[in-house]
A and B are shown apart, each in its own frame.
Chain A
Amino acid sequence: MVSETKIDERSEAAGPEIRTPGVSTADRIASFLKLHSIQGSITLALLFMVVIAIVFMGLTSYTVARRAILSTAHGYTGELITQIRTSIDTYIANMESIAEVIHRDANVQNYLRAANADDHAESGRFREPAASLLNSISQTRDDISLLMVYGGADRVLFHDPQMRLNEYASITDQDWFTAAQEARGGAAVSGSHVQNAVADRYQWVITLSREIRDDEDNVSLGMLLVDLNFRVIEELASAIELGERGYVFIVAENGDLVYHPQQQLIYSNLREERIAEVLAAAGGSFSADVGGAERLYTVDAESDTNWKIVGVNYIDELVLPAREIQVYFVLFGILCFFLIILLSLRISVRISKPIQMLRESMKSVERGDFDIQVEVRGRTEVADLSRDFNIMISEIRALMKSNAQKQDEKRRSELRALQNQITPHFMYNTLDSIIWMAEGREYDKVITMTSALGRLLRLSISHGDELVTVANEIEHVTNYLRIQQMRYADRLDYSIEVDQEVRRLTTLKVILQPLVENAIYHGLRNQYEGGRIRIRAYADTDLVFTVTDNGVGMAQEYADALLAANGDGRQPEAQNGRGVGVRNVRDRIQLYFGVEYGLRFYSEPDEGTTVEVRQPLLHSEEPAVRGS
């Protein structure tokens, strides 16, 4: 057996893509991506796991990193603002000690006492040393912008003798003045403000003010003022960098801003600041959404000044590293995506490819190709399966081979049997004729007939071959006709026309004789006029023999019915056994050459019958083979 169908792998692979109506889109995509295959399942499973892992890690990493970053930022900002607070406290403590020194100074006390008593001589005596104390203190401190002792509009001491009191500023109405009065001998520290006590001089300061009380009787002698240049605080706070946009601000307990880099914007309501929340916070940190940006407020409330120092961080700036981590996770995820695709391809090569090969082999077997050997090597289960498959296939092949042999033998024996049917039938008739001739003492005829019979038999035997040349077959039928002519005593006339080119062709043997026999017995025997048989041999697309008689003929339907017992081996109710030999011939031709060859009858009642035999054009050298 030979492989009849070549398996088209492309059309096979394209198979799953066929769009069937009523199939859901998901299924279509799945089949397109081969998601139902082993490879697809592996890929999907791995991808699913990685996506879950990446999403989970991305989310948690951001949350955890954000928390850690904010906590760090809080700690870091806390440290920075603690430094500011410590510096401010140091400045304030310095101012306090300066105030204490001035307060305790005997010259200052004596000056004020005398001045208050309008003792000009006495006050004049103490004025100079008291003023020089202020001057010498201010010399040592750059950050102190003003030292002033105020006993009244005409009894004022400045650290700089050039300074004059601003006559238009009502000193006793100033906040720092009233605050010190309320403090009753204690120090009052103001917020940031412009000092206008000195004529033509306006400076931003922090004021520490304190009543000067008499050492002896604790009576208020006047007011002491120590101004810290506010620039010191401003530089301190503005130098702190909290990211790109973060800043530090200082707010007094009453809500006044001591320092804020965007103070003017806040006053103009162009910027919002969470002052109320900062004042409510006892320290620590909180985050708030201000003007669309989330900010982290870190509050230090430990200051001696009752100021709150606040560090403000922009959270989006802080969590940038957390965002970066997220980005890395996404990139990592994409990398994993590629790796999984490659990995699944690798795995599919190891697992699903042998299965696919096995499957394709099975498909070939389904189509009838049993000459297949699956080459799957290795120790996987699929390799075992392939080996078993190969064993199964070879067993099937052996079975089929023996089956074919049996079929062949059966056919041959049938053929032989059919061929053999001819001989006894004819032999009986011929020998019967010879007996009649011998009885009639027609010895010449007996000799002729007997020699014709001998030739006929020799040709029939013909080395046991089933194929003979057309010439041989014609000779065979000629001998037969000669015998029959003698038997029918010239009531039978015949002619044989053979085209020269067909003589060398090959034909199945003993084909014409049964047809002629049929023509004589059933077409001519009952006729009293002379019967005539015409045999022709020629070639068109096939090798054609025709046997024509001028006998009784028959209806065409009847002629067709003669051959109707087509191949099932059962004969129809053939009249007087007519058709047995004809069907024999047909069956033999068809067994040998195939059903496209065989016989055809053309007949008309009272006109005669023509049988046409068709066989393939075979030259004697060519083997006439159908099947193996």
Chain B
Amino acid sequence: MHSRRKLFRTAVALGIAALAATTVVLAMGAREDGERKIMVVLKSVGAEDAPDEEMEFWQIVRHGMKTASQEYGLNPTIVGPPRERDIDEQVEIFAEVVAQRPDGIILAASDYEALAPLSKKAREKGIALVTIDSAVAGDAAASFVATDNLRAGEKAGAEMGALVSERKPVAIISHIHGVATAIDRERGVRQGLEESGAFTILGTFYADNNPELAYEIAIDLMNDHEDLGGIVTLNENTTVGAGRAIRNRGRAGEVKLVGFDHSKEEITFLEQGVIQALVVQKPFNMGYLAVQTLREVLAGRRVDAFIDTGSRLIRKTNMYEPQNEQLLFPF
């Protein structure tokens, strides 16, 4: 009797162990498929009065996120202020998101400093944080997924270096003073030019992200320097302003223009030969890689602190190549 009971107990124990193992495996399988709660805080989710290009950029980022989410079976909630300039509102939204304690957050910070304390708090709560496009101060983010602006700038600088003769001076028009992306781009441009030859750089001029101011700066540059070889502009508004100036002065092709981004006006200028080259970012990849990276972080794998989503230099000659077409003309 005694040992039969033992046999029975052993059998029951084995059975329960097997059952438990199966349950655990099934549960883990279900977990793997992802009931992970992921939240995305963007700089802008769009508003009536928001600039088209701004909306377009974030829409493509979201499209990339959606593609990755579908592939990995995730379902992120995307929130953000209506416009990029609503920094305080973004801080508020981010605070709410952190309070909800999701498993992971993707953040595109409107301000380098303003979102840093909350990011730190999120990290302390054990929330995985990945920043995209613009970083936050501190080391709260597991990874920063963005365009390598230094490299993007280098491409623009090298292109300018190839377009103009060393004897002619060149100028840089930056959209803003003291912002990391602008600083990186400018440094990149200078490096690119340096590597191409001994160029005279007239200086970096700040246009306060205003196309009209950029226009005036470009006009002044052309007036002051008869032999101006070219201008490198660091974002859409400065490029558009400088483009208009060159077109209006009838010096298209004579004064070379290498700019950033891809508004319709810029594309027209590119086609017209006012702009020789545009450096464009890859927002789709940014969105996609952000989700992919966050998933890696949540899975406990190591990720690089910085992930370059890439940029591409597009000239008139290759603007309709399939690879560039989608960057210039997103659906």
Partners in one complex: yes
CB-CB nearest in chain A for B325: A194
Q: Which of B313-331 contact A (CB under 8 A)?
A: 320, 322-323, 325-329, 331
Q: Would you call A267 and B73 a contact (CB within 8 A)?
A: no
Complex Cα distance, B27 from A327, in Å, reads: 12
A285 contacts partner chain B, Cβ-Cβ < 8 Å: no
| 8 Å CB contact of A268 from B26, B272, B282 | B282
Total residues of chain B contacting the partner, CB 8 A:
43
Encode contact with A along B1-28: 1 for CB under 8 Å, 0 otherwise.
1111011101110110011001000100
Encode contact with B along A119-151: 1 for CB under 8 Å, 0 otherwise.
000000000000000000000000000000000
Complex Cα distance, B71 from A262, in Å, reads: 10
Complex Cα distance, B12 from A257, in Å, reads: 59
Given contacts A244-B73, A264-B285, contact A338 B327 (CB under 8 A): no
Complex Cα distance, B331 from A231, in Å, reads: 8
Encode contact with B along A232-246: 1 for CB under 8 Å, 0 otherwise.
001000000000110
A155 contacts partner chain B, Cβ-Cβ < 8 Å: no
Segment at the interface with B among A196-204, A217-225, A273-281 = A196-204
B288 contacts partner chain A, Cβ-Cβ < 8 Å: yes
Q: Which of A335-355 contact B (CB under 8 A)?
A: 337-338, 341, 345, 348
Shortest CB distance A22–B (Å): 22
Q: Would you call A13 and B18 a contact (CB within 8 A)?
A: no
Complex Cα distance, B22 from A32, in Å, reads: 27
Complex Cα distance, B308 from A268, in Å, reads: 11
A168 contacts partner chain B, Cβ-Cβ < 8 Å: yes
| 8 Å CB contact of A267 from B18, B288, B326, B328 | B326
Complex Cα distance, B319 from A194, in Å, reads: 10
Complex Cα distance, B2 from A16, in Å, reads: 12
Complex Cα distance, B311 from A267, in Å, reads: 12
In the bound complex, residues from chain A placing their C-beta under 8 Å from that of B267 are: 202
Given contacts A202-B267, A244-B73, contact A268 B285 (CB under 8 A): yes
Complex Cα distance, B19 from A227, in Å, reads: 62
Encode contact with B along A163-198: 1 for CB under 8 Å, 0 otherwise.
000101100000000000000000000010110100
A364 contacts partner chain B, Cβ-Cβ < 8 Å: no
Q: Would you call A202 and B2 a contact (CB within 8 A)?
A: no
| 8 Å CB contact of A13 from B2, B271, B282 | B2
Given contacts A204-B331, A264-B326, A268-B310, contact A168 B285 (CB under 8 A): no
In the bound complex, residues from chain B placing their C-beta under 8 Å from that of A230 are: 331
In the bound complex, residues from chain B placing their C-beta under 8 Å from that of A331 are: 19, 22
In the bound complex, residues from chain B placing their C-beta under 8 Å from that of A196 are: 271, 320
Given contacts A34-B3, A196-B271, A337-B18, contact A270 B322 (CB under 8 A): no
Q: Would you call A193 and B22 a contact (CB within 8 A)?
A: no
Q: Which of A40, A191, A257, A268 has the most CB of B within 10 A?
A: A268
| 8 Å CB contact of B322 from A166, A244, A257, A268 | A257
CB-CB nearest in chain B for A352: B4
Q: Which of B261-284 contact A (CB under 8 A)?
A: 264, 267-268, 271-273, 282, 284
In the bound complex, residues from chain A placing their C-beta under 8 Å from that of B289 are: 270
Q: Which of A58-75 contact B (CB under 8 A)?
A: none
Shortest CB distance B20–A (Å): 10
In the bound complex, residues from chain A placing their C-beta under 8 Å from that of B271 are: 166, 168-169, 196
Encode contact with B along A248-267: 1 for CB under 8 Å, 0 otherwise.
00000000110001111101
Q: Which of B1, B7, B70 has the most CB of A within 10 A?
A: B7
Q: Would you call B15 and A334 a contact (CB within 8 A)?
A: yes
A39 contacts partner chain B, Cβ-Cβ < 8 Å: yes
In the bound complex, residues from chain A placing their C-beta under 8 Å from that of B67 are: 261-262, 265
A14 contacts partner chain B, Cβ-Cβ < 8 Å: yes
Q: Would you call B22 and A348 a contact (CB within 8 A)?
A: no
Q: Would you call A264 and B19 a contact (CB within 8 A)?
A: no
Total residues of chain A contacting the partner, CB 8 A:
45
In the bound complex, residues from chain A placing their C-beta under 8 Å from that of B331 are: 204, 230-231, 234
Q: Would you call B6 and A330 a contact (CB within 8 A)?
A: no
In the bound complex, residues from chain B placing their C-beta under 8 Å from that of A231 are: 331
Q: Would you call A168 and B15 a contact (CB within 8 A)?
A: no
Given contacts A245-B73, A264-B326, A267-B326, contact A34 B15 (CB under 8 A): no
A10 contacts partner chain B, Cβ-Cβ < 8 Å: yes
A33 contacts partner chain B, Cβ-Cβ < 8 Å: yes
Given contacts A34-B7, A244-B70, A268-B285, contact A200 B273 (CB under 8 A): no
Shortest CB distance A26–B (Å): 15
Q: Which of B144-203 contact A (CB under 8 A)?
A: none
Q: Would you call B8 and A263 a contact (CB within 8 A)?
A: no
In the bound complex, residues from chain A placing their C-beta under 8 Å from that of B72 are: 245
Q: Would you call A345 and B8 a contact (CB within 8 A)?
A: yes
In the bound complex, residues from chain A placing their C-beta under 8 Å from that of B285 are: 264-265, 268, 270
| 8 Å CB contact of A348 from B4, B15, B71, B329 | B4
Complex Cα distance, B10 from A169, in Å, reads: 83
Complex Cα distance, B67 from A168, in Å, reads: 35
Shortest CB distance A293–B (Å): 9
Q: Would you call B4 and A337 a contact (CB within 8 A)?
A: no
Q: Would you call A327 and B284 a contact (CB within 8 A)?
A: no
CB-CB nearest in chain B for A43: B7
Complex Cα distance, B144 from A189, in Å, reads: 43
Complex Cα distance, B2 from A257, in Å, reads: 74
| 8 Å CB contact of A264 from B2, B18, B70, B327 | B327
CB-CB nearest in chain B for A35: B7
| 8 Å CB contact of A34 from B4, B18, B273, B282 | B4
Encode contact with A along B284-296: 1 for CB under 8 Å, 0 otherwise.
1100110000000
In the bound complex, residues from chain A placing their C-beta under 8 Å from that of B284 are: 264-265
Shortest CB distance A247–B (Å): 8
Shortest CB distance A209–B (Å): 15
Q: Would you call A334 and B18 a contact (CB within 8 A)?
A: yes
Complex Cα distance, B60 from A246, in Å, reads: 21
Q: Would you call B3 and A13 a contact (CB within 8 A)?
A: yes
CB-CB nearest in chain A for B33: A244
Complex Cα distance, B7 from A60, in Å, reads: 32
In the bound complex, residues from chain A placing their C-beta under 8 Å from that of B272 are: 168
Shortest CB distance A599–B (Å): 53
Complex Cα distance, B147 from A86, in Å, reads: 41
Complex Cα distance, B73 from A262, in Å, reads: 16
Given contacts A168-B271, A261-B67, A264-B327, contact A256 B322 (CB under 8 A): yes
In the bound complex, residues from chain A placing their C-beta under 8 Å from that of B18 are: 330, 334, 337
Given contacts A200-B268, A231-B331, contact A334 B11 (CB under 8 A): no
CB-CB nearest in chain B for A335: B15
In the bound complex, residues from chain B placing their C-beta under 8 Å from that of A330 are: 18, 22
Q: Would you call B3 and A202 a contact (CB within 8 A)?
A: no
Complex Cα distance, B289 from A264, in Å, reads: 12
Query: Mind listing 17 A-B residue pairs with CB under 8 Å?
Result: A39-B7, A166-B271, A169-B271, A200-B264, A202-B264, A244-B73, A245-B70, A264-B64, A264-B284, A264-B285, A265-B284, A265-B285, A270-B288, A330-B18, A331-B19, A337-B11, A337-B14
Given contacts A193-B325, A231-B331, A264-B285, list 19 more A-B pairs with CB under 8 A.
A10-B2, A13-B1, A13-B3, A34-B4, A43-B7, A168-B268, A193-B320, A202-B328, A204-B329, A234-B331, A245-B71, A257-B322, A262-B288, A264-B326, A264-B327, A265-B284, A265-B285, A337-B11, A341-B8
CB within 8 Å of B: which residues of A? 10, 13-14, 16-17, 32-34, 39-40, 43, 166, 168-169, 191, 193-194, 196, 200, 202, 204, 230-231, 234, 244-245, 256-257, 261-265, 267-268, 270, 327, 330-331, 334, 337-338, 341, 345, 348
CB within 8 Å of A: which residues of B? 1-4, 6-8, 10-12, 14-15, 18-19, 22, 26, 64, 67, 70-73, 264, 267-268, 271-273, 282, 284-285, 288-289, 310, 320, 322-323, 325-329, 331
Q: Which 6 residue pairs are nearest across A and B when measured between Cβ atoms?
A: A341-B11, A264-B284, A168-B271, A267-B323, A194-B329, A13-B2
